[in-house]
Structure 1
């Protein structure tokens, strides 16, 4: 039975454990919180759980499911503190790939960058759910030095999860693409909330809060998410995010200009175009 290690038993780590254990793999989980280890065992997300990385010494594939800023330090600890088999595969689930893959591949030649594009607004082990990854994109960002046999093993894992595999993009390509469809929306959504809060008339602001419905709920959801995750996106994917923000600012200024000049025909054309093009991103 293949032994799988998971460091970080939150939404993603716990969900990975649930599905991979259900597929017949033996799961070893690590969390800094002893209570989380207990809950993961109770939920049957893992077969074994501990606060020490030592539990992972005999695993064959290790998933790092920590916050982005903890991924590299975790790989450093794994490679320094454990006598891992050189064939052991280490992978991560971070939403930024270039800086992580560059450093972790130096630390461990058998490192494969990964990013499952799945999640919910909830956090923690209790948010873990079965089939979270079904029909959701799962990106593997190998580089020239990545062993092909390691990538192939992870492809098999992705298939077990029922996810949609994307393994033909570089870490840099991944980061720019994700900046557009994940990291930029967080910043735009957060800015929307901030702009609304700065309405100077308290009566109008209160009324807006009472009237807010599905449109505001949908467009503000990611901006009201985990602040730590948003900060890590900006910190580790800074250059790609700035490219996206700059282009977004140009588009917004275009809309402002059309409205200021009462160019309703051009505005209608703009909205018709965005209506048609949205389908390229959301099927």
Structure 2
């Protein structure tokens, strides 16, 4: 199968590695010629160019650009494709993307692979990135079944776990477990930097270990991606943040009142349910 990838970063590059290893012919498009050359030299794609016309003969195209560029890229891309080509994206927000692209292209299936690292760019691409990771598909009532089946077969071949849901359900779910953690983690780092005693601040930096590393990781990620999460999933994220603030206020109140019994009960409750989210 001839497969196109628009956006040769971590996700696009990693897709290329795995798809090529299965015998697919992979064509990549990037905004920078240097990235195109790097992707070919690394073996992520067979051919690469800055011109979308390279994808004219592809049967499936993955849009792996930043969220804000997904719709504009599709608008430009469809002039080069036959109507039978299946288009999908990997954006972490689905409702606005699906709403914008579905009227433009019948064979569009919204997608979101829940995989990644703290690094970015084609150099960060790696093989088997999607193995045992969730991969969400968000077809609508009008999405052709054949298009969904084609994409399911590809996703299954990556070793990923397929989930289906409505675009709006996806956005509410990821606001809790992906977008909220970014904002909370960033706020943690900002709060630490609010320490006014430079000696204490430096000591905190020196002492920071696994706990701080784990809870601050996503807050130290790509700022552009964080802004796009907030911009394109604004309402769901605000709802999550407001609920988080209520929980934080409750913890503050319990500590102020020295209600250690209630605080312990709360921590026991969170300890009990955490495995439901993280194995």
With the shorter chain as reference, the TM-score category is over 0.9
Q: 2:172 aligns with which of 165, 169, 176?
A: 176
Residue 279 of structure 1 deviates from its aligned partner by 0.4
Secondary structure of 2:27's aligned partner: strand
**Match in the other structure for 2:51:** 52
Answer yes or no: is 1:251 the counterpart of 2:247. Answer: yes
CA offset digits 1:185-219 (Å, max 9, x no partner): 00000000000001111111111111111100100
Residue 106 of structure 1 deviates from its aligned partner by 1.1
Secondary structure of 1:165's aligned partner: strand
Aligned residues: 279
Secondary structure of 1:62's aligned partner: strand
Q: 2:95 aligns with which of 91, 98, 102?
A: 98
How do 1:251-270 and structure 2 match up within 5 A?
Answer: 251-270=247-266
Answer yes or no: is 1:24 the counterpart of 2:23. Answer: yes
Answer yes or no: is 1:70 the counterpart of 2:69. Answer: yes
Secondary structure of 1:107's aligned partner: coil
- Give the Cα separation in 2 of the matches to 1:101 and 1:111: 8
Answer yes or no: is 1:204 the counterpart of 2:200. Answer: yes
| TM-score normalised over the length of structure 2 | 0.99
| TM-score normalised over the length of structure 1 | 0.98
**Match in the other structure for 1:145:** 142
Note the aligned Cα RMSD (angstroms): 0.6
CA offset digits 1:86-125 (Å, max 9, x no partner): 1101100000000000001011111110000000001100
Answer yes or no: is 1:195 the counterpart of 2:191. Answer: yes
Secondary structure of 2:102's aligned partner: helix
Residue 43 of structure 1 deviates from its aligned partner by 1.1
Structure 1 alignment gaps of length 5 or more: none
**Match in the other structure for 1:113:** 110
**Match in the other structure for 1:38:** 37
- Give the Cα separation in 1 of the matches to 2:220 and 2:242: 22
Residue 273 of structure 1 deviates from its aligned partner by 0.7
Structure 1 residue ranges, 4+ long, deviating more than 4 angstroms after superposition = none
Answer yes or no: is 1:219 the counterpart of 2:215. Answer: yes
